[in-house]
Amino acid sequence: MPSLRTLSLTGLATVAITAAAALSTPAAAQTKTVYIGMNGGTMEKTYTEHVFPAFEKATGIKVVVVPGTSSDILAKLQAQKDNPQMHVVFLDDGLMYRAIGMGLCQKMEPSPALDQVYPSSRMKGDMAVGVNMGMTGLAYNKAMFEEKGWAPPTSWMDLADAKYKGKIVVQSAASSSFGLHAFLMYNRIKGGSETNVDPGFTTWRKTIGPNVLEYIPSSAKIAEMVQTGEAAIFPLTPTGVGTLKAKGIPVEYVQPKEGSVILMVGECVVAKNPDNEAAQKLAAYLLSPEAQLAALQYGAQIPSNTTVKAPADVADEMAKFQGYMKTAVTVDWDVINEKRPDWNQRWNKEIER
């Protein structure tokens, strides 16, 4: 969705005023500091410059980012389990389920914003909640498809279509959520589930395997492989497609008829954090339509709050995304996290060898 990166900034003053009115309390004059773990780079810049200021102004609570990847933040949480220094953390959904299972998160308190998010974004009885949404579906090389006269793909099983032999690119399921999602959806189509992956493992090499040009460790090579005409179809998110399109790379996203797989960044309030009142207040604010509109406008973060009104220049793209959410499915991360080491071994031995 390239237009998400060139959004109009109209209305942010109103957002700040609305947020301030909603958050103002008699304790606003009291200065506190809360620490939030999240990805550095673009996400940190977006939240620090455009999301946190309204909260800080309204509450007198200073928000400081502890930057790092989801794996980095989870490692810090584990190391600080008995004496946590962070109040709130953002983690990719798979790692968030691990954090919940380790007792590193506590339940979020009820709030109006919590009732406005997608039901699928509420994890494990509100022990964590998605703050921005995505999904893994299929993307395709539009230039190649037009040249060949091919219709756009419609199903995960298109990866097994013989006409794409040597033109399919799949991220490794051992190292990428995109590849893992593709495998799990194929496994479901073949009659399996997260508790039974044998249908996928026993048939992938005979069906999709012959079409795969390369299993790549991440999505970093996709831009190059589209431009060189090597890649026809590959798993990706709508936002990932939008990023490539913004660079002039001819790709399009499609929602498979069997559904896409929800891929989100969640937030949780850290268990035993130093100031639970402030932490809960920040976590609730980050789910609010005001905060999520700012994250959308300045950072292309797709809202989990369903009441966010997208600006006119991205309204059509947001409507498409909301349509995708209607058929997006969730996977069982508790089972995945338990079984993934074994799956990784099987993948490396049976699929990528």
Query: pLDDT of 56-109, one tens digit each?
Result: 999 999 999 999 999 999 999 999 999 999 999 999 999 999 999 999 999 999
- Token pair for 326: 């209607």
Q: Are residues 143 and 105 part of one domain? A: no
Q: Are residues 214 and 340 in the same domain?
A: yes
- 306 plus 194 within the same structural domain: no
Identify which has the larger pLDDT, 10 or 193. Answer: 193
pLDDT of residue 212: 98
Helix, strand, or coil here: 329?
Answer: strand
Looking at residue 300, what is its pLDDT?
86
For residue range 265-304, what is the model confidence (pLDDT) as tens digits? 999 999 999 999 999 999 999 999 999 999 999 988 999 9
| Statement to judge: residues 235 and 278 lie in one domain | no
pTM score of the predicted model: 0.86
- Mean pLDDT within 292-319: 92
Cβ pair 139, 234 in contact under 8 A: yes
What distance lies between CA 265 and its chain's CA centroid?
5
What is the domain extent for residue 81? 33-134+264-325
Verify that 226 and 347 share a domain, yes or no.
Answer: yes
Both 65 and 76 in one domain: the answer is yes
User: In which residue are the tokens 């794409």 written?
Assistant: 164
Is the same domain home to 200 and 338?
yes
DSSP secondary structure of 1-66: -GGGGG---TTHHHHHHHHHHHH--GGGGS-EEEEEEE--THHHHHIIIIIHHHHHHHH-EEEEEE
Taking alpha carbons only, the member of 203, 223, 99 closest to residue 156 is: 203
Percentage of the chain beyond pLDDT 70 is 91
pLDDT computed for residue 1 by the predictor: 43
Work out how many domains the chain is built from and give that number: 2
In the three-class reduction of DSSP (H, G, I as helix; E, B as strand; rest coil), residue 121 is classed as: helix
Structure tokens of 145? 């498809």
Question: What is the number of other CB atoms lying within 10 angstroms of the CB of residue 316?
Answer: 12
Whether residue 94 sits in one domain with residue 80: yes
Residue 9 lies in a domain: no
70 and 166 assigned to the same domain = no
Amino acid 146: pLDDT: 98
Place of tokens 């990932």: 240
- Give how far the C-alpha of residue 156 lies from the chain's centroid of Cα atoms, to the nearest Å: 20
107 and 92 fall within a common domain: yes
- 251 φ/ψ angles, rounded to the nearest 5 degrees: -130, 160
Per-residue model confidence as pLDDT tens digits over 321-331: 999 999 999 99
Could you tell me if 123 and 145 lie in one domain? no
Q: What pLDDT band is residue 23 in, cutting at 50, 70 and 90?
A: low
**Does residue 19 surpass a pLDDT of 80?**
no
Is residue 340 very low, low, confident or very high in pLDDT (cuts 50, 70, 90)? very high
Whether the CB-CB separation of 121 and 266 falls below 8 Å is answered with yes
pLDDT at 353: 79
The answer on 338 and 189 residing in a single domain is yes
